[in-house]
Amino acid sequence: MSSDSVSLRDRWRHIIFGTDTPAGQYFDQLLIVAILASVAAVMLDSVQSIHQQYGTWLYGAEWFFTLLFTFEYMIRLWVSDRPLRYARSFFGVVDLLSIIPTYLSLFLPGANYLLTIRALRVLRVFRVLKLAHLMTEANELGATLVRTRRKIGIFMFSVVIVIIIFGSLMYLVEGPANGFTSIPRSIYWAIVTITTVGYGDISPQTSLGQAVASMAMITGYAIIAVPTGIVTAEMSKASMARRYERECPNCHRHDHDPDARFCKQCGTGLPKPGQEDAG
Amino acid sequence: MSSDSVSLRDRWRHIIFGTDTPAGQYFDQLLIVAILASVAAVMLDSVQSIHQQYGTWLYGAEWFFTLLFTFEYMIRLWVSDRPLRYARSFFGVVDLLSIIPTYLSLFLPGANYLLTIRALRVLRVFRVLKLAHLMTEANELGATLVRTRRKIGIFMFSVVIVIIIFGSLMYLVEGPANGFTSIPRSIYWAIVTITTVGYGDISPQTSLGQAVASMAMITGYAIIAVPTGIVTAEMSKASMARRYERECPNCHRHDHDPDARFCKQCGTGLPKPGQEDAG
Amino acid sequence: MSSDSVSLRDRWRHIIFGTDTPAGQYFDQLLIVAILASVAAVMLDSVQSIHQQYGTWLYGAEWFFTLLFTFEYMIRLWVSDRPLRYARSFFGVVDLLSIIPTYLSLFLPGANYLLTIRALRVLRVFRVLKLAHLMTEANELGATLVRTRRKIGIFMFSVVIVIIIFGSLMYLVEGPANGFTSIPRSIYWAIVTITTVGYGDISPQTSLGQAVASMAMITGYAIIAVPTGIVTAEMSKASMARRYERECPNCHRHDHDPDARFCKQCGTGLPKPGQEDAG
Amino acid sequence: MSSDSVSLRDRWRHIIFGTDTPAGQYFDQLLIVAILASVAAVMLDSVQSIHQQYGTWLYGAEWFFTLLFTFEYMIRLWVSDRPLRYARSFFGVVDLLSIIPTYLSLFLPGANYLLTIRALRVLRVFRVLKLAHLMTEANELGATLVRTRRKIGIFMFSVVIVIIIFGSLMYLVEGPANGFTSIPRSIYWAIVTITTVGYGDISPQTSLGQAVASMAMITGYAIIAVPTGIVTAEMSKASMARRYERECPNCHRHDHDPDARFCKQCGTGLPKPGQEDAG
């Protein structure tokens, strides 16, 4: 690899991974616009009337974006220190899935629906978080969800059990004559009901069925308090936890605000944050 | 401008902006009644049977309110120190939009639907907050929403991505034959489902579609916990901090903990909660 | 009034208002059973098939309960120290409304529907809270709702404005041809949508209408966080507030648990709750 | 009972109740798989097309699982120190209900629907919590719900009263002509509406009915804040208290605040958070 090639690679690396340089920011903004435009093109192309009128234009746009993203994908592979690791990472797979269907449609003309997979391109928009300097908030939200995953998991597990029981019960009570043709379909009804979505495509007809359905609805209405409580308690705790970090050298009280200079209990001067160990 | 005119302008100013004077309060109450009455008239006029029977009366009422609000708008322009700034402010635009359509309907008789814009008059009712001394609570609510806007933004951003993916997936799974005629329409279905509204105008027919829909419903049901948690954690923090709001007599800092005895800023002793007035 | 009569009145008073005496508890339990039975009778009587088969029995039961409640109402008036005050109190009015319709049906045989008012009897069941010693919790919940009423009021006020605007907008966008026949009906649709109920009896047909409806749904889905946050923050505060009541005589710290005997900060003995003033 | 038999019993006891031994873990995992497979078989068998094609296989699988669970039930009875207590416990009854229907179907061939009861087997999956070491979280969630049961109870009680009143009102307003054929059916509508499920199988047709329905919807939308607030406030309190759970070395009390330095029970100095193990 010549010295020129290396410097070109470094320049591309700065463009693709840089968030502070003008070139990097410009590239990110351009990428977001291209992603949104390509997703919009995919969506519009699925509308029959638009497809008939502007199909050729959209086909051209599709190949333009596909070639652009293919070029970007290759650049990313090239400038990455561990190309394989990038290729197998979440965004690497999404980047690949964004371009593959268009090429496949050349060889498998019947697989038109496959093209819908390109809508996954929208996932690439999450890179915008980096752009908008929202990573702190995004990480905070993510950390909360990670910390609550066991409790939320138990809750969802219980909800699934409740759904299966209500579904089976309704199959027993209403039966195939009233639209509850099988237990899986009754479970689908139970999910529609307990999550309070309520399409109404299947609904209980008998009095007993309506009574059971009422219980399912009230259950679904009341238990939404549980995941909300779990997430909220965790978020409150996280925002409080930051206070229990500094200790007063005189009275040893230690729930001081990050910006406190004197102990709120005894008025003694506090060490600066991060200096407790040194003191 | 004669001295009489100035005093007239001042008098009007007191009437329009005054919240403590009897004249100002009387004007505000009258204005609210007029706004509500005019909005009610617009609504009733849209009901076919009422329009046929009381159309003439409502037409008269409409012109009465329009002239009244035009008069008020001009007075506001006149007494305002910076008329242009008022005209371009939120309430200035709303005030103008409240009267324009009626005049336009004289010249554009076909633009009947345009008259619906007058319903925006209802926004003017927000002035009632000033009247009912609810500004503190309204500001507190507003401040909470402002502080949480980045986190809520990230959440809504993620929800939109999830909606697009579920919408595209359902277009792939169910297809045009079952009502999912295009990706935008499938996305509409995904919004109806994930927000747990569930009209049922489009609903999955195949088993696989119902399985995907079930996942969308459970997702929508579970993630409502996130914005609730964000807003609640912020409100809890704000309402704790505010509860015993006290000011340091030395350095005037005033965000002290409920149980603080000394100023965290300068170490000066703080008055006990509830004794500020006495001190 | 003879001495016998007085003692009889006192005895009834003990039966009706007593919550600790066996007679009072027995009366309360009997009353609850009678109320629930009479409400159940009213409900069952409204079912056509049951009315045809057991109409006579239910008619008899109705008169039995009406005479019983009339007797109880008169006793309550008699033993009450201020009969007029009771008659105009919430429960007094409910008690009267529970018996009036049956008598009226004798003179106004056509006013069958009026009998439905008797379902208000169910409100009398709230007396059960006294019976089940749930008053503390009920009062705590009530106090929270009272303290949050201004903020919840502003929120509901804003929601109503948003509903009116979305309703008017949809009338403009969809028009009478798609079921949005008038602004009031469009507002009904907006309420159905923003509260995430989603009957589907009226739903947007045009693409633009579905886009506006999507915004309404997402709005309704997101803003439910606000009242939840308000109520939760208030409840958290209330449960915390009980801690800021006792002060350590040595270090003056004052956020101790109700059951603390020693200061958690300096280990000094704490005065018993309620004795601070004496110390 | 011979010594061999006893040791065999002990071995089985270790397999069934052991959570740390490899044999016990293997048995638990196998049991979960068997339960899920048998529930899946019951569900699939209820689908007409699958029943016709694979009915014989599923019938065989059903008897295989039934004999397996019967064997397991008998082993549990045998190794249990108090067989009767196990038989009457929650899981004991569920275990029995999981196998009874299959045997009954031999003698009562018509009672096909009875077989649906086997879906209750899914309740046995809750044993998985033991397996996945999720008991702490499950108990914490359970304890929160137990502590809030009185307040949640009062809330649900009030909701039921509100539902009955709205249901009766709609029966009065809309009447049988618009689908509100009886008070119980109107109450079913009120539940569908207030829980925001909104099937749309019954919906108000008159303007007055839609106005009342709107009030019911807004009520349901707003009051969901109450149970959420109750559960969240309780969870916040619990999760704060638990965070730095520490035990007094003298009196062994262990519900101390995160920032406590001395035991609130006996005044003894507490080890610092995170140092319990070292001390």
B180 contacts B202 by C-beta, under 8 angstroms: yes
- CA C257 to CA C240: how far, in whole Å? 10
Nearest to B39 by CA among B113, B98, B109, B112: B98
C31's CB contacts (< 8 A; 6+ apart) are C72, C124, C127
| pLDDT exceeds cutoff 50 at D275 | no
| pLDDT exceeds cutoff 60 at D188 | yes
- Give the mean model confidence (pLDDT) for residues B65-87: 91
Nearest to B243 among C151, C210, C237 (CB): C237
pLDDT tens digits, one per residue of B173-206: 998 889 899 999 999 999 999 999 999 899 999 9
pLDDT tens digits, one per residue of A150-191: 889 889 989 999 999 999 999 988 988 898 999 999 999 999
Buried b (16+ CB within 10 A) or exposed e, B206-240: eeebbebbbebbbbbbbbbbbbbbbbbbbbbbbbb
> How many CA atoms are closer than 13 Å to the CA of C210, on its beta-carbon side?
16
Contacting chains of C (3 CB pairs or more, <8 Å) are A, B, D
Report pLDDT for C278: 38
**Is residue D29 within 8 angstroms of chain B, CB to CB?**
no
**Is residue D221 within 8 angstroms of chain B, CB to CB?**
no
Residue of chain C minimizing CA distance to B237: C233
Report pLDDT for A276: 43
Token representation of residue B99? 């009267």
Q: How does DSSP assign D173-238, residue by residue?
A: HT-GGGT--SHHHHHHHHHHHHTT----SS---SHHHHHHHHHHHHHHHHHTHHHHHHHHHHHHHH
Chain A interface, mutation test: which of D161, D231, D275, most A Cβ atoms within 10 Å?
A: D231
- Give the mean model confidence (pLDDT) for residues D9-13: 83
**B:182-201 residues touching chain A, CB 8 A cutoff:** 182-185, 187, 193, 196-200
Report pLDDT for D226: 92
Q: Is the dihedral of CA C195, C196, C199, C202 positive or negative?
A: positive
Q: Distance (Å) from the C-alpha of residue D242 to the closest C-alpha of chain C?
A: 15
Q: Give the angle subtended at the CA of A26 by the CAs of A22 and A28, to the nearest 5°.
A: 120
Domain B3-130: CATH superfamily is: Voltage-gated potassium channels. Chain C (1.20.120.350)
C168's CB contacts (< 8 A; 6+ apart) are B116, B119, B120, C183, C186, C187
Across the interface, do D198 and C201 touch by the CB < 8 Å criterion?
no
C243 contacts C254 by C-beta, under 8 angstroms: no
Buried b (16+ CB within 10 A) or exposed e, D22-32: eebeebbeebb
Buried b (16+ CB within 10 A) or exposed e, A175-211: beeebbbbbbbbbbbbbbbbbbbbbbbbbbeeeebbe
> Max alpha carbon distance in chain B (Å)?
82
Quote the percentage of chain A above a pLDDT of 70.
Answer: 86
Across the interface, do B183 and A239 touch by the CB < 8 Å criterion?
no
D148 contacts D234 by C-beta, under 8 angstroms: yes
**Is residue C231 within 8 angstroms of chain D, CB to CB?**
yes
Report pLDDT for C160: 92
- Mean pLDDT lowest for which of A108-122, A263-277, B34-48, D229-243? A263-277
Task: Name the more confident of B245 and B235.
Answer: B235
**Is residue B205 within 8 angstroms of chain D, CB to CB?**
no
SS (H, E, C) A113-151: HHHHHHHHHHHHHHHHHHHCCCHHHHHHHHHHHHHCHHH
Report pLDDT for B145: 87
Residue of chain D minimizing CA distance to B224: D228
| pLDDT exceeds cutoff 60 at D278 | no
- Give the mean model confidence (pLDDT) for residues B44-60: 90
- CA A126 to CA A35: how far, in whole Å? 11
- Give the mean model confidence (pLDDT) for residues A85-96: 89
- Give the mean model confidence (pLDDT) for residues A55-79: 91
**B:248-267 residues touching chain A, CB 8 A cutoff:** 256-257, 259-267
Nearest to D218 among C140, C195, C266 (CB): C195
What average pLDDT does the structure give for chain A? 83
B229 contacts B215 by C-beta, under 8 angstroms: no
**Is residue C228 within 8 angstroms of chain A, CB to CB?**
yes
- Give the mean model confidence (pLDDT) for residues B82-99: 89
| pLDDT exceeds cutoff 70 at D30 | yes
**Is residue A241 within 8 angstroms of chain B, CB to CB?**
no
Q: Residue type for B188, please?
A: Y
Nearest to A168 among D119, D156, D228 (CB): D119
Q: Give the angle subtended at the CA of A10 by the CAs of A5 and A12, to the nearest 5°.
A: 95
- CA B167 to CA B216: how far, in whole Å? 10
Token representation of residue C152? 């919840």
Residue B109: Cβ-neighbour burial (10 angstroms; 0-12, 13-18, 19+):
exposed
**Is residue A114 within 8 angstroms of chain D, CB to CB?**
no
Nearest to B233 by CA among A63, A80, D264, C232: C232
Report pLDDT for A12: 84
Across the interface, do B231 and C224 touch by the CB < 8 Å criterion?
no
Nearest to B169 by CA among B146, B149, B193, B152: B193
D212 contacts D166 by C-beta, under 8 angstroms: yes
- Give the mean model confidence (pLDDT) for residues D122-139: 77
Q: Distance (Å) from the C-alpha of residue C88 to the closest C-alpha of chain B?
A: 29
SS (H, E, C) B68-114: HHHHHHHHHHHHCCCHHHHHHCHHHHHHHHHHHHHHHHHHCCCCHHH
Contacting chains of A (3 CB pairs or more, <8 Å) are B, C, D
- Mean pLDDT lowest for which of B145-159, D117-131, D237-251? D237-251
B/C interface, count of CB pairs below 8 Å:
147
Q: Which fold has domain B147-244?
A: Helix Hairpins (1.10.287)
Q: Residue type for D278, please?
A: A
Domains D3-130 and D147-244 share a fold: no
Report pLDDT for D209: 94
Q: Distance (Å) from the C-alpha of residue C111 to the closest C-alpha of chain D?
A: 11
Report pLDDT for C10: 83
**Is residue B208 within 8 angstroms of chain A, CB to CB?**
no
- CA A166 to CA A186: how far, in whole Å? 8
Rg (CA), chain A: 28
Report pLDDT for B278: 34
Q: Reduced to 3 states, what is the DSSP secondary structure of residue B184?
A: helix
B48 contacts B147 by C-beta, under 8 angstroms: no
B/D interface, count of CB pairs below 8 Å:
10
Query: pLDDT band at residue A262, thresholds of 50, 70 and 90?
Result: confident
Query: pLDDT band at residue D74, thresholds of 50, 70 and 90?
Result: very high
Q: Is the dihedral of CA D175, D180, D185, D188 positive or negative?
A: negative
Q: Residue type for B139, please?
A: N
Chain C interface, mutation test: which of D218, D255, D261, D266, most C Cβ atoms within 10 Å?
A: D218
Nearest to D184 among C47, C230, C269 (CB): C47
Chain D interface, mutation test: which of C159, C162, C224, C235, most D Cβ atoms within 10 Å?
A: C235
- CA A43 to CA A45: how far, in whole Å? 5
- CA D1 to CA D82: how far, in whole Å? 17
- Give the mean model confidence (pLDDT) for residues D228-256: 74
Nearest to D261 by CA among A40, A111, C244, A255: A255
- CA A25 to CA C106: how far, in whole Å? 83
Query: pLDDT band at residue B275, thresholds of 50, 70 and 90?
Result: very low
Q: How does DSSP assign chain C, residue by residue?
A: --HHHHHHHHHHHHHHH-SSSHHHHHHHHHHHHHHHHHHHHHHHHTSHHHHHHHHHHHHHHHHHHHHHHHHHHHHHHHH-SSHHHHHHSHHHHHHHHHHHHHHHHHH-TT-GGGGGGGGGGGGGGGGHHHHTT-HHHHHHHHHHHHHTHHHHHHHHHHHHHHHHHHHHHHHHHT-GGGT--SHHHHHHHHHHHHTT----SS---SHHHHHHHHHHHHHHHHHTHHHHHHHHHHHHHHHHHTTTT---TTT------TT--B-TTT-PBPPPTT-TTT-
Crossing angle of the two packed helices C48-79 and C22-45, in degrees rounded to 10:
150
How far does Cα B109 stand from its chain's mean position?
31
Q: Give the angle subtended at the CA of B153 by the CAs of B148 and B158, to the nearest 5°.
A: 135
Nearest to B54 by CA among B67, B70, B43: B43
Across the interface, do D231 and A234 touch by the CB < 8 Å criterion?
no
**Is residue B120 within 8 angstroms of chain C, CB to CB?**
yes
B110 contacts B34 by C-beta, under 8 angstroms: no
**Is residue C232 within 8 angstroms of chain A, CB to CB?**
yes
Quote the percentage of chain C above a pLDDT of 90.
Answer: 31
Contacting chains of B (3 CB pairs or more, <8 Å) are A, C, D
**Is residue D62 within 8 angstroms of chain A, CB to CB?**
no
- Which chain D residues are within 8 Å of A174, Cβ to Cβ? none
D200 contacts C199 by C-beta, under 8 angstroms: yes
- CA D183 to CA C148: how far, in whole Å? 34
- CA B237 to CA A235: how far, in whole Å? 11
The domain spans of chain C are 3-130, 147-244
| pLDDT exceeds cutoff 90 at A278 | no
B89's CB contacts (< 8 A; 6+ apart) are none
Q: Reduced to 3 states, what is the DSSP secondary structure of residue D109?
A: coil
Report pLDDT for B276: 40
- Which chain A residues are within 8 Å of D227, Cβ to Cβ? 222, 225
- Mean pLDDT lowest for which of B88-92, B159-163, D164-168, D202-206? B88-92
- Mean pLDDT lowest for which of A11-15, A103-107, B259-263, C73-77? B259-263
pLDDT tens digits, one per residue of C107-156: 876 656 677 778 788 888 887 676 667 778 888 888 888 888 888 988 99
**Is residue C144 within 8 angstroms of chain A, CB to CB?**
no
Task: Name the more confident of A205 and B10.
Answer: A205
Across the interface, do B197 and C196 touch by the CB < 8 Å criterion?
yes
Token representation of residue A67? 């070639």
Chain B interface, mutation test: which of C196, C263, C264, most B Cβ atoms within 10 Å?
A: C196
Query: pLDDT band at residue B236, thresholds of 50, 70 and 90?
Result: confident
C165 contacts B120 by C-beta, under 8 angstroms: yes
ipTM of the predicted structure? 0.84
**Is residue B222 within 8 angstroms of chain A, CB to CB?**
yes
Across the interface, do A196 and D197 touch by the CB < 8 Å criterion?
yes
| pLDDT exceeds cutoff 70 at D254 | no
- Which chain C residues are within 8 Å of B234, Cβ to Cβ? 229
- Which chain B residues are within 8 Å of D199, Cβ to Cβ? 200
Report pLDDT for A277: 42
Contacting chains of D (3 CB pairs or more, <8 Å) are A, B, C
- Give the mean model confidence (pLDDT) for residues B144-173: 90
A/C interface, count of CB pairs below 8 Å:
21
pLDDT tens digits, one per residue of C180-209: 999 999 999 999 999 999 998 999 999 999
**Is residue A158 within 8 angstroms of chain B, CB to CB?**
no
Nearest to A265 among C198, C228, C253 (CB): C253
Chain B interface, mutation test: which of D232, D234, D239, most B Cβ atoms within 10 Å?
A: D232
Tokens 């005030």 sit on residue: B95
Query: pLDDT band at residue D57, thresholds of 50, 70 and 90?
Result: very high
Report pLDDT for C109: 67
Token representation of residue B17? 């902006």
- Which chain B residues are within 8 Å of D197, Cβ to Cβ? 198
Residue A30: Cβ-neighbour burial (10 angstroms; 0-12, 13-18, 19+):
exposed
Residue of chain B minimizing CA distance to D207: B47
Task: Name the more confident of B211 and A80.
Answer: B211
| pLDDT exceeds cutoff 70 at B273 | no
pTM higher than 0.90, yes or no?
no
Across the interface, do D117 and A172 touch by the CB < 8 Å criterion?
yes
C130's CB contacts (< 8 A; 6+ apart) are C19, C28
Rg (CA), chain C: 28
Report pLDDT for A141: 87
- Give the mean model confidence (pLDDT) for residues D64-83: 91
Residue of chain D minimizing CA distance to B225: D228
| pLDDT exceeds cutoff 80 at B20 | no
pLDDT tens digits, one per residue of C31-56: 889 999 998 998 898 888 998 999 89
Task: Name the more confident of B237 and B163.
Answer: B163
